[in-house]
Chains A and B, each alone.
Chain A
């Protein structure tokens, strides 16, 4: 079983704070790294699919970077808003059988 780790496990920030979380994954057999946002009572929603070392992706106030050689990705949220409150999942894609291996997630809570 592949080891995909996320830290911190949970995070509580004030509105307007910027924050970041980490996903670490095996550096071998890498095909892609996925980020999802999972809000309570909703389906997980895809944020980014990252494939190239050094990749940076951005969607509004959320951005992500990728280092495949050392096996980590960072997700950044600039100026957190209450609607950013969710669990953020990363998933390792080895390109084998289309299945993903997920980390345990980072639960973000943003308060006013």
Chain B
């Protein structure tokens, strides 16, 4: 069964901490994405990557960075966590050329 795996289901971090959210896919997909989901706002794209070492800003990249050193792994980094980054974070991957996303199960991050 193909999978997108996010390393943590729940995380609690302190304001100012550097936070790493990890995502690994086993489908050899070129494209990987990080979204956050907030009530009433839907899924908003933070960053995406269409190849190793390539990254593109999404709609809300401020306060985040990403890393894609290997095809299967896409990391989201909160440089200095703030309370307004408390959210559900979803990773997804997709083949170039069509088809839908395959999503991870999400990481619920709380910044206190």
Chain A residues with a Cβ under 8 A of chain B: 1, 9, 32, 34, 36, 41-46, 49, 89, 91, 97-105
The residue in chain A whose Cβ has the minimal distance to the Cβ of B35 is A102
Q: A42-B105, A44-B103, A98-B94 are in contact. Are A104 and B50 (CB under 8 A)?
A: no
CA distance A89 to B92 in the complex (A): 14
B112 at the interface (CB under 8 A from A): no
Which residue in B59, B94, B103 is a CB contact (below 8 Å) of A43? B103
Is B42 in contact with A105, judged by CB distance below 8 angstroms?
Answer: yes
Given the interface contacts A43-B103, A46-B101, does A98 sit within 8 Å of B58 by beta carbon? no
Which residues of chain B in 60-87 are interfacial with respect to chain A, using CB atoms and an 8 Å cutoff?
A: none
Q: How far is the CB of B66 from chain A (nearest CB, A)?
A: 14
Number of A-B contacts (CB under 8 A): 57
Contact partners of A100 in chain B: CB under 8 A:
101
How big is chain B's contact interface, by range? 20 to 34
Q: Is the CB of B90 within 8 A of A44?
A: yes
Contact B59 A1 (CB under 8 A): yes
Closest to A49 in B: B100
**Do B45 and A101 touch across chains, with their CB atoms under 8 A apart?**
yes
Q: Tell yes or no: B56 within 8 A of A by CB.
A: yes
- Contact, CB under 8 Å: B96 / A98: yes
Q: Please give, as numbers and ranges, the residues of chain A lying within 8 Å of B35 by CB-CB distance.
A: 102
Residues of B within 8 A of A99 (CB): 31, 33, 45, 48, 58
